[in-house]
Chain A
């Protein structure tokens, strides 16, 4: 039954114009950036960094926004539109409904990252000095590593969504928390180590020579812990939801 519901949730997410819009952005932004760089003198010296530039842009703002919107719509939005119960009265447990919603969001996150990576590599051929053939492994590693913190942010978003019965309230709260979490470390730098939202550029540690294994392992375990805690708390709240 969980496979059936993952297909359902994936289809519902895909049928939203928002998801198609993000996919379009994932294709157009790298291409437009490459075209602009092509016409700039010496492409401002960033031609060879287009994949990382795009990854930075997307992981900092657009992909978290996609996660916030998808999580708030999949849970709070469906409560508001009375459609959440449509899945809950079928022969499937709430825990599986929750898991399939999270899985669908994760699948689209992976698809978006993959599309951004492929588009930036291809559009790199438009930029002088943008032949990335030699750095493909680094690019792939960076994009794969970027998935982990985004996944954790997705789980936290899903947890936050359980407190709201309207998607707008959930979305605004997530954006405010994210914005605050990005600014607070400027005042209290020590907090950034513990904030999951500070790890959106975690992929940087993986490229080139990379960071020491212990540091990577520590931060990975921290993110995994966030995933487990947010997922578990989210599923408990979802199980208790009275519709």
Chain B
């Protein structure tokens, strides 16, 4: 089993007491890993630490065998991501926004920007400035930017925010196809459990800055129980103060 991402004992505490504590998990090649939890659980903080936007107090992150602290360029070479909100340079067109990102990957073919814009359904608007885009269009552009470099690991934070139903279905199909056909690994965080449960094969459930469950969907969820039911039950159990019995790490 090829490990793509390893998170080792990550801790980050803010002055207000929030943050994440002692997070450990790994993701193997081809996984679609869902990071699930209510708002404020620490999902975005964890993702930001993974991609180097926030420095942890303790712990380390390894991507494709490269530690993100001292081998950041190598670690991020095959990573695409969209974190928090799909922001873009509003004074540039969709195409020009992607052109800036494409410069970091000189091996990409010149048609790649058009291909990826086609893939997310933004090709007709590629010359329009982003400041006229709706939230859903910006979200698609963010996804295009994440997929642009043909990454082997894609990290997405709340990727379906602002998407309409058609956009959500397209997004789901795109993710499943990329994972199945190209073997791309995904780490997707969302509080929309139903949506995420349709595509993930492994999950990590976060609450109050802690990872309360990690494992394969098949391992964790008994037959006959829907994933979302399982997740809700775990969150409830955790809230009842039963942390110690339930914190275990399943590889």
* Contact partners of A16 in chain B: CB under 8 A: 91
Q: Complex: how many Å from CA A92 to CA B72? A: 7
Given contacts A7-B103, A86-B101, contact A243 B91 (CB under 8 A): no
Q: Is the Cβ of A86 less than 8 Å from the Cβ of B76?
A: no
Cβ contact within 8 Å between B72 and A93: yes
The interface residues of chain A lying within 8 Å CB-to-CB of B73 are: 1, 91-93
Any A CB within 8 A of the CB of B170 = no
Residues of A within 8 A of B79 (CB): 89, 91
Beta-carbon contacts under 8 Å, A53-101 to B: 81-83, 85-93
Q: Which A residues from 1 to 19 make CB contacts under 8 A with B?
A: 1, 4-5, 7-8, 11-12, 15-16
Interface residues of B in 87-109 (CB under 8 A from A): 87-92, 96, 100-101, 103-104, 106
CA distance A90 to B76 in the complex (A): 6
Q: Report the minimum CB–CB distance from A198 to chain B (whole Å).
A: 35
Q: How large is the interface on B (under 10, 10 to 19, 20 to 34, 35 or more residues)?
A: 20 to 34
Please, how many angstroms separate the alpha-carbon atoms of A88 and B53 in the complex? 7
CB neighbours (8 Å) of A4 from chain B are 103-104, 106
* A81, B90: Cβ atoms closer than 8 Å: yes
Interface secondary structure of B, over-half rule = loop
On chain B, the residues within 8 Å of A83 by CB distance are 87-89
Q: A16-B91, A82-B85, A83-B87 are in contact. Are A90 and B101 (CB under 8 A)?
A: yes
Asked if A242 CB lies within 8 Å of chain B CBs, one says: yes
List B104-131 residues whose CB lies under 8 Å from chain A.
104, 106
Within the complex, what minimum Cβ distance (angstroms) separates B226 from chain A?
34
A90, B55: Cβ atoms under 8 Å?
A: no
Instruction: Given A91-B73, A91-B77, answer yes or no on A243-B54 (Cβ-Cβ < 8 Å).
Output: yes
Contact with A along B117-155 (1 / 0, CB 8 A): 000000000000000000000000000010000000000
Chain B residues with a Cβ under 8 A of chain A: 48, 51-55, 72-74, 76-77, 79, 81, 83-85, 87-92, 96, 100-101, 103-104, 106, 145
Residues of chain A at the chain B interface (Cβ within 8 Å): 1, 4-5, 7-8, 11-12, 15-16, 81-83, 85-93, 240, 242-243
